[in-house]
Structure 1
Amino acid sequence: MVRKAAVLGAGVMGAQIAAHLANAEIPVVLFDLPAKVGDPNGIVMRARDTLSRLEPSPLATAERIDYIDIANYAQHLDRLRECDLVIEAIAEKAELKADLYRRIAPFILPNAIVASNTSGISIKLLSGSFPEAMRERFCGMHFFNPPRYMPLVELISSGRTSPALLDELESWLVSRLGKSVVRALDTPNFVANRVGLFSMLAAMRHAERFELGFDVVDMLTGPLIGRPKSATYRAADMVGLDTLTNVIATMRRACDGNHSDPWSEYYATPAWLSTLIADGALGQKTGFGIYRNDGKQIQVLDQRIRAYRDCRDSSDEIAPEVMAILKNRSPAGKFAQLRACNHPQARFLWAVFRDVFHYVAFHLADIADNARDLDLAMRWGYGWAQGPFETWQSAGWQSIADAVQADIDADRAMSTAALPAWVFARVEHGGVHRSEGSYSASGGTIKPPSTLPVYRRQLFPDRVFGEEANSSVMSGTTIWENEGVRLWTLPEIDNDIAIVSLTSKNHTLGHDVLLGMQEAVARAEADYKGLVIWHEAPFAYGANLKEVAGLISGGQFDRIGSYIAEFQKTTMTLKYARVPVVAAVQGMALGGGCEFLMHCAKRVIALESRIGLVEAAVGLIPAGGGCKEFAIRAWQNSARTGSKEPVDFILPAFTSIVTSRVSGSAMQAREQGFVLDSDPIEFNAKELPYVALRIARGAAEAGYYPKLSPRNVKVAGRAGITTCEAMFAEMCQGGRFSEHDCFVARCAATALCGGDIEAGSLVDEQWLLTVELNVFLELVNNQKSQQRIQHLLDTGKPLRN
């Protein structure tokens, strides 16, 4: 649909949107104003250079930046004729956007799409700056920051936008860019920012009423209630206090004008916030705002003393009775207790929840097509574990509705507006979400989820509370299971391809998983045409270190040897299965998890996967076939080139292993050799099972059979070990590595190079596995490696001894 794109505006959002388009194999022309001095492209050049330094990186791999071209409005508008999609991401001022639209209109292709990344300006208003013929191909396309990582995109029609175009855009955003799309209405701040801003302002107002410190409020409004760690005030610092003030002002202007809002009086910047901005304290971008770093100590602004103090970053600040309420697993019980508790922290929390419930109920008809869209917008755009209607429904629709209305009647709520009549009409239905869909206040009906064909690729889509009845259709049929894995099928999708999922804690690869995986392959070979390894992230955290540490403490080193031999048997079973085994990977695939995927016939990887062989961090080496696979690939690559020796291809793998380097994306994992060029990378992790099942089906129907185990593998041997050691010695010059690190590095080199034998020796696959096993056992018997294992289990952090 989009072969080339342009992004107008090289600010924080524009540059990062361009980066994500480049991640998705879409070349981009990034525009901004011509620089007043020096190179006219200076503004864009600096923005593009900044992309390479940002953390977390907006680029899936460093070379993606080569697909972002630089341009300026004065010289290069004709380049817009190359582009199928133009995304405007300049400052949030309608007059600036209108002027730019008039300038670019003559250069836009007739069939090109133009979209604004505005976070809240009316799309209908903006569309008026285009010629009549272009208006049906203009819409709002609001990405959330950072665009690579935040799933939500709000898609907004101007009222004139072609419905077919919006359907095409939604499908493209979902599958190609990996986004979660909500069709927002053209109202101020659209959906997520409308509710998110109000929630933040409500928290700020009630924090002042109940005299709670900023840091205490952040403890209360973060993970304890299913919200991100940034909570309220940290989030304000991250957004930028000046930006937040601008959003508040925009919201007030919009709601005082054509949009009636009983809460409009609260769209005002608190006096303390105005003072901070006047002092240049704008949050993270200036180094201080509500919070600041004083050396290693984080400090927070204390309004009572009008100065910074050390931050109380401890749950000890939460009153015990309030903490007990928040730990209550019954939503209904939790909210009943919050309402009954007189502690200021409990009263604060109930007040914030109450006013958000009130707000979203009153405004549902105005700001969202249905309750599902609003809830998912808050989950995808703000990281809430549940949207407000989900929280309300799970706590008991009627009891919450009655409590909110009682507070409104008693003048305790922020607004005296009554709850809409539909709220009480939904009591008999238990709320707004049902198995067949969610309530639309504007239409007075239940709206089902989107039926666009792209969503058929999501076998397990995100569901809201109350939709669970639908999930039984896709829960699958269990074939066999043990304590570590479940083997099952999806008869509705493909009854000939089996799925095996890890069920162990944290998806670690203990003895039950190894035996279970072998059994799964055997059953797939007997009764099915293929096997897919898939489960929710993480893919696998590797060997069960607690199990290994227990054997070490008991002196049972022979059992450790048997465990590694069983691990190698499992990976070889995956590699030489008589049916195609496809690994569908998302999240972490570390250590043994990485070795599992390396041995499968095929892999399909979610973009945001973190993959690596990290055993060196605990003083060990990969011994489940990871070193062996790299040795074989080095020999194969050497044979193909004819001009290089195996050690030339060993060195990158050696560096990754000894530094325990984990890929920042699936693309980086491909660069590191964990993922092959032929393995597809999926931007939308929800599509993984669908794609994996079809890859397995396609391989089976193409007549899949496993390759023969390689013989006469030419290894780098003793000379290769020496080369690796020399390379590591250079890495050690900065003092980052200890003497034991050097020993571990030599062990890794030995396994990768086929053992301490002559360079060019010919060995088979089993030889390489035996070298791995022997080297691993040597390290397990080493006291310093044992200390590293125990330290990681005790602290969760690596030890450099």
Structure 2
Amino acid sequence: MSNPFIVRKAAVLGAGVMGAQIAAHLVNAGIETLLFELPAESGNPDANVLKAIEKLKKQEPAPLSVIDRANCIEPATYDQHLEKLRDCDLVIEAIAERLELKSELYEKIATYLHDQAVLASNTSGLSINQLAAVIPEALQPRFCGIHFFNPPRYMYLVELIPSAQSDAAVLDALESFLVTSLGKGIIRAKDTPNFIANRIGVFSMLATMHHARQFGLAFDLVDKLTGVLIGRPKSATFRTADLVGLDVLAHVVQTMQNGLAEDPWHIYYIIPDWLQKLVDHGALGQKSGKGVYQKQGKDIHVLNPATDTYEPAQNEVDDEIEALLKQKDPVARFTALHDHSHPQAQFLWAIHRDLFHYCAIHLAAIADNARDLDLAIRWGFGWERGPFEIWQAAGWNTVAGWIEADIAAGKAMAEIPLPAWVQTVGQSTIQGVHTQEGSYAPITESWQPRSQLPVYRRQLFPDRLVGEEIVYGETVFETDALRMWHTGDQVAIVSFKTKKHTIDNLVLQGMQQAITEAEHHFRALVIWQTEPPFSLGANLKKATERPKTEAPPAPPAPPSAFEKFIKQIRGATQSAILQAARSLDVADMLMAGKLAEVEVMIAHFQQVSQHLRYSLIPTVAAVDGLALGGGCEFVMHSDRAVTTMESYIGLVEAGVGLLPAGGGCKEFALRAARNAVDGDPFPYLKHYFQTVAMAQLAKSAEQAKEMYYLKPADVIIMNRLELLYVAKAQALALAEAGYRPPLRPREIVVAGATGIATIKSTLVNMLEGGFISEHDYLIGSKIAHVMCGGDIVAGSRVDEEWLLKLERTAFIELLATEKTQDRIAYTLKTGKPLRN
């Protein structure tokens, strides 16, 4: 391209399910977007597209990062608004998968596109070269396929498919835009039916259906066998078909049947009778309320194809097979699967064998290298490992020998032998297709390195494949809980090692050490996890564990003794807390000891939060995925947060009967004071209170800004693999600007007793109306007490330590209640909240 490819404005042609959601993702990324549809037959010509935009606001999962983004989509019709295409740099066609309709549309719009505009078809399987043939010659270099996966906001994969005339520079520019601006993982696919991901993924589903019938396994049992137990999504096979839409699946299968007549597996490209019956009767899966599965009341029923009836889902994986699948060593796991006589084991070996066989035969025709095939399946279907990765980890040569033996014995789905390159890579040092230098490309018979496009320099640590080793920089220090490291520059990085990156005393100790170390030897500090989530917050599991005693505990001490303990520990030192605990009787002492430990941990947590806030160097939280509770408090106390759009951030402690005590309540009280209207912080505080008391979770980074978990200056990016690069850049920018820590506020105006009373009056009404329980009322009252600065005169001025002390006290008082302990225990056991 003669000029840099900058997308100032985009257009999507077609307001169906995919077209509307692609438009939604474009406006999520801050790109002005036109959405075209046929005019309504009567009334407002824009009615059809307006209906599609309105539907975006109600869909789950939400296509829009925040609801208001729907207003940024400009409706348009082909009859009235084609002139508006002249301002568009990118036009994505997403109408029905019919060649004649697409051809007709291209002819209509071609003259309205400016001479640098890119036209792309969001086809899932039609030939890009056939589509290109009907486009004016001058436009053909700027035309390609661009296959988004559903739902476009959440699915990482986009397949980019060139035609024979596509300009290489156009493809490179478009790929760079898709990676950074839309946050996608790009795979260059060849122009073959269904491209890479759907070709392999749908074959895998067809092979699974074939072997399910062969081994006589029920649909629900197959889903249990082919889901998380083998590193695939919980939706597994048949539930995935329901989610995608059985009509969509049937269409993809039909495309393979029509376009792959010479394929050795062509006989299996058929729509099963039971599936065709469901489609014919409108049972299309989740979107119609019934498909392979149907919810009847609270129970899930599954189709029995033998009787065409729905029966309760009740089949279970054999205990021995489940134990076998949980073996960590993939070589041992596959050996056991191959050798075991149980039908469930033989089924699992068969679906892997035929998938490996299929991928080996078709790799050269559909992809440039094995990496592209594996990443397409990981990113498009949500597998933990791609087919070749699984094969390589299980022992390339051994598995290849088993496949060849089954082909010779007539057990495989196709008779064609494995290609010669399988033996070639088996003779390599790595014995597989993925190495540190690159992944095997059968056409060139070489190991092909990753793309060298400049955009990928922003991905400091790309998704690792089996056979690749990633070294996360040079270690500064490491403990059992975290590691501090760097990549050779002046930015220190801290990564947690705890499960789900929860925060315990060891993490807090490590954080204190890391901040101090960074202040002495680095210019900035970034908190970044090598994989999501950012942090699920404080680890309170030990706080609710009852200590075991050989003898029955002594009778409980009188309530007054326990209450006295609670009062004694308010703001006390660690030694004073422990001394107070010793004064109680045995039963209360057990719980008091736990509370004492938690009190010390909370005080430590607050110290770390404050150290983050007032560090002598800039601190940056690099957030991807969940940042809950204490994780959110670390984000709120960092100088800057850099978050991916798909970051889910919130102070959710109220959901387990607690309140934020790592500085979260203090922080909202401080922000309310800074925004006080005529000296009154309450207009802001009541909003912050609702956010905390209702344990509201932001379901996008944009929503986190609306809820004030994120600050206006915090940065939102689209691509998770660019997170560390941008976070380091932000940290260094703060340092280069002559960073100084913020001044500590000496006086924070609070809402006091008047604010507490106002909030409590609302809580009383909710309690009397049956909207909240008595314990919810208690929790809300404690939160109000802390955020309003305690029972003091409205307009009083306090400091941060005053608010932090209120946090600690209220947290321990709630933790001491039986109902909060029950809530925590229930959530830890089930992952769900308890309303008591």
Q: TM-score range by the shorter chain?
A: over 0.9
Cα deviation per residue 1:671-722 (whole Å; 9 max; x = unaligned)?
1111011111111111111111121112112211101100122111122222
Match of 1:163 in 2: 168
CA contact (8 A) 2:679 2:795 kept: no
Match of 1:127 in 2: 132
Match of 2:39 in 1: 34
Alpha-carbon separation, structure 2, partners of 1:200 and 1:625: 49
Match of 2:520 in 1: 526
Match of 2:268 among 266, 269, 288: 266
Match of 1:554 in 2: 591
Alpha-carbon separation, structure 2, partners of 1:216 and 1:391: 22
Alpha-carbon separation, structure 2, partners of 1:734 and 1:388: 56
Match of 2:208 among 168, 188, 203: 203
CA contact (8 A) 2:673 2:748 kept: yes
Q: Secondary structure at the match of 2:119?
A: strand
Matched, 1:609 2:650: no
Q: Secondary structure at the match of 1:648?
A: helix
Partner amino acid, structure 1, of 2:826: H
The verdict on how the C-alpha distance between 1:307 and 1:780 changes in structure 2, with shifts beyond 3 A counting, is closer
| Residues 702-781 of structure 1: pairs in structure 2 closer than 5 A | 702-729=737-764, 735-781=770-816
Partner amino acid, structure 1, of 2:599: G
Match of 1:310 among 312, 328, 351: 312
The verdict on how the C-alpha distance between 1:554 and 1:372 changes in structure 2, with shifts beyond 3 A counting, is same
Matched, 1:440 2:441: yes
Alpha-carbon separation, structure 2, partners of 1:745 and 1:49: 35
Cα deviation per residue 1:452-473 (whole Å; 9 max; x = unaligned)?
11111111101211122xx23x
Partner amino acid, structure 2, of 1:5: A
Q: Secondary structure at the match of 2:59?
A: coil
Alpha-carbon separation, structure 2, partners of 1:113 and 1:730: 58
Alpha-carbon separation, structure 2, partners of 1:744 and 1:333: 51
Cα deviation per residue 1:598-657 (whole Å; 9 max; x = unaligned)?
11111111111111111111222111111111111111112xxx5572111112211111
Matched, 1:487 2:452: no
Alpha-carbon separation, structure 2, partners of 1:342 and 1:713: 72
| Residues 304-703 of structure 1: pairs in structure 2 closer than 5 A | 304-312=306-314, 317-429=316-428, 430-468=431-469, 471-472=470-471, 475-491=472-488, 494=489, 496-535=490-529, 536-550=531-545, 553-556=590-593, 557-638=595-676, 642-643=677-678, 645-703=680-738
| TM-score where L is the length of structure 2 | 0.92
Alpha-carbon separation, structure 2, partners of 1:654 and 1:382: 40
Q: Secondary structure at the match of 1:677?
A: coil
The verdict on how the C-alpha distance between 1:505 and 1:226 changes in structure 2, with shifts beyond 3 A counting, is closer
Q: Secondary structure at the match of 2:526?
A: strand
Partner amino acid, structure 2, of 1:424: Q
Alpha-carbon separation, structure 2, partners of 1:791 and 1:220: 28
Cα deviation per residue 1:380-424 (whole Å; 9 max; x = unaligned)?
000111111111111111111111112212222111112111111
Partner amino acid, structure 1, of 2:526: V
Q: Secondary structure at the match of 1:451?
A: coil
- Greater Cα offset, 156-165 or 507-516: 507-516
Partner amino acid, structure 1, of 2:448: K
Alpha-carbon separation, structure 2, partners of 1:455 and 1:567: 37
- Greater Cα offset, 519-528 or 501-510: 501-510
Partner amino acid, structure 1, of 2:476: I
Task: Report the alpha carbon displacement of residue 447 of structure 1 after superposing the two structures with TM.
Answer: 0.8
| TM-score where L is the length of structure 1 | 0.96
Cα deviation per residue 1:521-544 (whole Å; 9 max; x = unaligned)?
111111111111111212111222
Partner amino acid, structure 2, of 1:511: N
Task: Report the alpha carbon displacement of residue 184 of structure 1 after superposing the two structures with TM.
Answer: 0.5
Cα deviation per residue 1:223-270 (whole Å; 9 max; x = unaligned)?
1111111111111112222221121111111112xxx31111211111
Task: Report the alpha carbon displacement of residue 374 of structure 1 after superposing the two structures with TM.
Answer: 0.2
Match of 1:88 in 2: 93
Alpha-carbon separation, structure 2, partners of 1:720 and 1:465: 57
Alpha-carbon separation, structure 1, partners of 2:71 and 2:768: 32
Alpha-carbon separation, structure 2, partners of 1:644 and 1:31: 50
Match of 2:154 among 149, 157, 172: 149
Cα deviation per residue 1:274-314 (whole Å; 9 max; x = unaligned)?
222222222122211111111111111112333211112x6
Q: Secondary structure at the match of 1:478?
A: strand
CA contact (8 A) 1:578 1:705 kept: yes
Partner amino acid, structure 2, of 1:18: A
* Percent identity of paired positions between Structure 1 and Structure 2: 53
Task: Report the alpha carbon displacement of residue 733 of structure 1 after superposing the two structures with TM.
Answer: 6.8
Q: Secondary structure at the match of 2:648?
A: strand
- Greater Cα offset, 179-188 or 27-36: 27-36
The verdict on how the C-alpha distance between 1:26 and 1:221 changes in structure 2, with shifts beyond 3 A counting, is same
CA contact (8 A) 1:510 1:547 kept: no
Task: Report the alpha carbon displacement of residue 731 of structure 1 after superposing the two structures with TM.
Answer: 5.2
Q: How many residues align?
A: 785
Cα deviation per residue 1:57-77 (whole Å; 9 max; x = unaligned)?
011111111111111111111
Partner amino acid, structure 1, of 2:454: P
Q: Secondary structure at the match of 1:402?
A: helix
Alpha-carbon separation, structure 1, partners of 2:540 and 2:461: 31
| Residues 286-305 of structure 1: pairs in structure 2 closer than 5 A | 286-305=288-307
| Residues 244-255 of structure 1: pairs in structure 2 closer than 5 A | 244-255=249-260
Alpha-carbon separation, structure 2, partners of 1:270 and 1:618: 47
Alpha-carbon separation, structure 1, partners of 2:446 and 2:25: 37
Match of 2:561 in 1: none
The verdict on how the C-alpha distance between 1:789 and 1:197 changes in structure 2, with shifts beyond 3 A counting, is closer
Match of 2:191 among 174, 186, 193: 186
- Greater Cα offset, 602-611 or 147-156: 602-611
- Greater Cα offset, 403-412 or 98-107: 403-412
Task: Report the alpha carbon displacement of residue 353 of structure 1 after superposing the two structures with TM.
Answer: 1.0
Alpha-carbon separation, structure 2, partners of 1:179 and 1:725: 47
- Greater Cα offset, 152-161 or 342-351: 342-351
- Greater Cα offset, 439-448 or 768-777: 768-777
Alpha-carbon separation, structure 2, partners of 1:198 and 1:555: 59
Alpha-carbon separation, structure 2, partners of 1:782 and 1:400: 57
Alpha-carbon separation, structure 1, partners of 2:280 and 2:734: 64
The verdict on how the C-alpha distance between 1:507 and 1:73 changes in structure 2, with shifts beyond 3 A counting, is same
Runs of 4+, deviation exceeding 6 Å: none
The verdict on how the C-alpha distance between 1:255 and 1:622 changes in structure 2, with shifts beyond 3 A counting, is same
Matched, 1:798 2:798: no
Task: Report the alpha carbon displacement of residue 799 of structure 1 after superposing the two structures with TM.
Answer: 2.0
Matched, 1:12 2:17: yes
Alpha-carbon separation, structure 1, partners of 2:369 and 2:762: 60
| Residues 227-242 of structure 1: pairs in structure 2 closer than 5 A | 227-242=232-247
Instruction: Extract unaligned runs of 5+ from structure 2.
Output: 1-5, 547-587
Cα deviation per residue 1:54-113 (whole Å; 9 max; x = unaligned)?
111011111111111111111111111121111011111111111111111111121111
Alpha-carbon separation, structure 2, partners of 1:213 and 1:652: 51
Alpha-carbon separation, structure 2, partners of 1:373 and 1:515: 42
CA contact (8 A) 1:150 1:381 kept: yes
Q: Secondary structure at the match of 1:689?
A: helix
Aligned-pair RMSD on alpha carbons? 1.6
Task: Report the alpha carbon displacement of residue 481 of structure 1 after superposing the two structures with TM.
Answer: 2.5
| Residues 25-104 of structure 1: pairs in structure 2 closer than 5 A | 25-104=30-109
Instruction: Extract unaligned runs of 5+ from structure 1.
Output: none
